[in-house]
Amino acid sequence: MNKRLTVAMAFSVALICAAAAKSTAPVPLPRSNPLKNTERENQQNPTSASALFSEKKLPSLGRAMAIGYYPRGCLQGGVELPATGPTWQVMRLSRNRNWGHPDLVKFLERFAPLAAKATGWKGILIGDMAQPRGGPLPFGHKSHQIGLDVDIWFMPMPDRVLSKAERENVLASNVVAADGKHVDDKTWSPADVAFIRTAAEQPEVERVLVNAAIKKELCRVENGNDRWWMSKVRPWYGHDDHIHVRLKCPADSPNCRAQPPVPGGDGCDKSLDHWFTDSILRIKIPEFGGSSAGLKLKDLPAACTAVLNAPANPASAATEDRSQPR
């Protein structure tokens, strides 16, 4: 493997999103509770940046700023997305990851009703955003560190407010067939196309990550002229039960490092074939490292140490008292 390819792969690996669970229907809580994993990793490696950032239950004081790179940075002055809105509900509340740069919260408040209208759903189910001060996460993601990434589920919001237990236990709907080459006709629907399209069309969205089988399906059905938005929809490992929406660096964040722009075109060319080779299909998410738990504080921009040590800003909490450990 040449050096450039190695670097490119390492770069790509660094941007990996989530280890997506394989399931088509709501099932009981998985045997391994992710929170237990967090506690264990923190005990094993108490000086890791993920341990230090995950201990902070509230954001830092200071004006909002995304600092660093999506998989290597932090968030100053984060704000909380309310757990329940008219057209959204946040899942996995125990993780305390419904924080972001104000641009991300504003985006979700604007996108949720647009997505509901486009899909016919009651609303959207929102997975992980960022920790209160961003930073590396002890499990689940390489990115989601600077308050500009969000996972949104392939599952309509139900016509009622989910209980806390349901928000912990219900699994997102996997829309990819077992062979990884096609969408699953039993779970995929045209509304999913509208869902992805509506996300990609928003001007502040930098890219939308989906499983390659989903990208292939979009290439098949979206063959008209009005498909400029398709360039933003990028194939990535996992992402079979949620989309990952990434926003551009905000104007107020000079130390936010932009990702190289998406290549032009709709992405429905030979570059997509690579995702369906046996060697790629065999790759399982954990082999790419499911988290950034190994990063140290010195691996992050120096400003992140100040963010970590800054006083908390309780006023930024939207829904409930987060000052106590949960």
240: contact with Zn ion by CB under 5 A: no
Among 57, 92, 234, 244, binds Zn ion (CB under 5 A): 244
Nearby residues of 232 by Cβ (< 8 Å), 6 or more positions away: 200, 205, 206, 207, 208, 262
Residue 285: CB minimum distance to Zn ion, A: 12
* CA angle, residues 52, 68, 255, in degrees to nearest 5: 130
Residue 17 is a binding residue for Zn ion (CB under 5 A): yes
**Residues 168-187 contacting Zn ion, CB under 5 A:** none
| Site for Zn ion contains 205 (CB under 5 A) | no
SS3 74: strand
List of residues 6+ apart from 87 with CB closer than 8 A: 112, 113, 115, 116, 122, 123, 124, 157
Among the listed ranges 11-19, 106-114, 256-264, 284-292, the one in contact with Zn ion (CB under 5 A) is: 11-19
For the four alpha carbons of 189, 193, 199 and 205, in that order, the dihedral sign comes to positive
Name the one range near Zn ion by CB under 5 A: 9-17, 37-45, 192-200, 315-323: 9-17
How many chain residues are in contact with Zn ion, going by CB under 5 A? Answer: 4
Look up residue 184 and give its two tokens: 């699953």
Q: Which two tokens stand for residue 241?
A: 């039960």
Identity of the residue, 18 or 105, whose beta carbon is nearer to Zn ion in the bound complex: 18
- Output the CA angle 192-113-78, nearest 5 degrees: 100
Binders of Zn ion in range 150-169 (CB under 5 A): 151
Quick note: the x/- pattern for Zn ion over 32-71, rule CB under 5 A, is ----------------------------------------
Side chain identity at residue 201, one-letter code: E
Piece of the chain touching Zn ion by CB under 5 A; list 61-69, 155-163, 168-176, 237-245? 237-245
Q: CA 196 to CA 126: how far, in whole Å?
A: 14
Nearer to Zn ion (CB atom), residue 18 or residue 256? 18
- Paired residues of 89 in beta bridges: 84, 125
Between 283 and 312, how does the x/- string for binding to Zn ion read (CB under 5 A)?
------------------------------
Binding site for Zn ion (CB under 5 A): 17-18, 151, 244
